[in-house]
Structure 1
């Protein structure tokens, strides 16, 4: 779908801050509130804006116990559908948060979330590796997030420079 520069500008603003008001978007883009509302509706209806989400740093919540794993999956593609059918079967599992088609040594990258490493291991051995087209898997556990979707998770460092005045 071809989009105008203003539509792309609106998408970038909303992607950076999904809670921004329509009034503020209108001021930032020099459009009317009505134009912004129509554009947002168009982008939502065409499934370009898929959803609005918050980015949470779960490592700061003591009550949240859980692990995230990235699993590299080697797949035999099926005639006529390639990797799509296998990817669809995988992303339907409740534990799966993301599935990507990749270039390189592995075909699919699967991100899953579980309560423990054992739960992730059970998912891989009982569900993922039993799929007919899956040849092999390699599981990587995320130990710490430093940056996600462009957002740095650590607090900004203090400026330790000495103030010099004449």
Structure 2
């Protein structure tokens, strides 16, 4: 789908701040509020804008338990459907946050979330590894996020040097 320059501008702004007021967005891209709303509605209907999301740094929330893992999956693709059929089986699990087709040693990269390490391990051993097309998996537990979707999660460290004059 070919998008106009204004549509691309609107998408660029919304990708950085989905909560921006429509009036502010319209001023930024040089359109009226009505024109901007019409473009946004069209992009939503065409499924270019899929969802408006909030990014949360759960490490700042006391008592929030959660474990994320990136799982590399090697699969045997099926005739006629390639990787799509096995990818769909995998992304239908509630634990799965994302599935990507990759180049390189592994075919799929799967992001999984669970309450404990054991819960993620059980998902891999009891659900993922037992799927017919899955040949092997490698699980990497995420220990700390520094940057996510272009957003730096760490607070800037203040310069502790003493000013000398």
TM-score, length-scaled by structure 1 = 0.96
2:120 paired residue number: 120
The 2-side partners of 1:98 and 1:39 are apart by 28
Distance 1:111 1:32, change over 3 A: same
The residue correspondences of 1:29-40 to structure 2 (distance < 5 A) are 29-40=29-40
Per the TM alignment, residue 159 of structure 1 is displaced from its structure 2 partner at its CA by: 4.4
TM-score, length-scaled by structure 2 = 0.96
Per the TM alignment, residue 158 of structure 1 is displaced from its structure 2 partner at its CA by: 2.3
What 5-or-longer segments of structure 2 have no aligned partner?
A: none
- Indicate yes or no: 2:149 matched with 1:134: no
The 1-side partners of 2:115 and 2:80 are apart by 37
Large movers: runs of 4+ above 6 Å: 161-165
Per the TM alignment, residue 156 of structure 1 is displaced from its structure 2 partner at its CA by: 1.5
The 1-side partners of 2:161 and 2:49 are apart by 43
The 2-side partners of 1:2 and 1:164 are apart by 57
What 5-or-longer segments of structure 1 have no aligned partner?
A: none
Give the match's secondary structure for 1:94. coil
Per the TM alignment, residue 4 of structure 1 is displaced from its structure 2 partner at its CA by: 0.6
| Number of aligned positions between the proteins | 165
The residue correspondences of 1:6-25 to structure 2 (distance < 5 A) are 6-25=6-25
Per the TM alignment, residue 63 of structure 1 is displaced from its structure 2 partner at its CA by: 1.7
Deviations 1:20-73 (A, max 9, x none): 010001000110001100000011011111100011000111121110000000
Aligned Cα root-mean-square deviation (Å): 1.4
Per the TM alignment, residue 10 of structure 1 is displaced from its structure 2 partner at its CA by: 0.1
The residue correspondences of 1:3-152 to structure 2 (distance < 5 A) are 3-152=3-152
